[in-house]
Amino acid sequence: MKSLEEYQTKEKELVSSIQQGYIGKNTYKVTLKNGREMINDQITKKGDSGDAAVILAITCDHKFLVVVQARPNTWEIVAIEFPAGMAELNEVGEMTAVRELMEETGYSPQKISKLEDHYQDQGCSKGVITTYLAEGCKKVGEPKLDADENLNYVLLTKRDIDELMFGRRSIPTRVRQFLKNLLLKLLRINSQLFEMERRELELKIQQEALMREIGIRDANSKIAYLSYKLERK
How many whole angstroms separate alpha carbon 64 and alpha carbon 82? 9
User: pLDDT for 154-176, tens place per residue?
Assistant: 888 877 776 666 554 555 555 66
Per-residue pLDDT band for 142 (boundaries 50, 70, 90) equals very high
Q: What pLDDT is recorded for position 233? A: 46
Residue ranges covered by each domain of the chain:
2-45, 49-156, 157-233
Would the pLDDT of 110 be above 80? Answer: yes
Predicted TM-score of the model (pTM): 0.71
For residues 212-229, average pLDDT: 53
Instruction: Pick 210 or 168 by higher pLDDT.
Output: 210
For residues 27-37, average pLDDT: 95
Would the pLDDT of 185 be above 80? Answer: no
Q: Which residues fall within 8 angstroms of residue 58, CB to CB, at 6 or more apart?
A: 64, 65, 133, 134, 135, 136, 137, 186, 190
Q: What pLDDT is recorded for position 59? A: 93
Would the pLDDT of 105 be above 90? Answer: yes
Q: What pLDDT is recorded for position 53? A: 94
Would the pLDDT of 14 be above 60? Answer: yes
Instruction: Pick 168 or 89 by higher pLDDT.
Output: 89
User: Is the CATH number of domain 49-156 3.90.79.10?
Assistant: yes
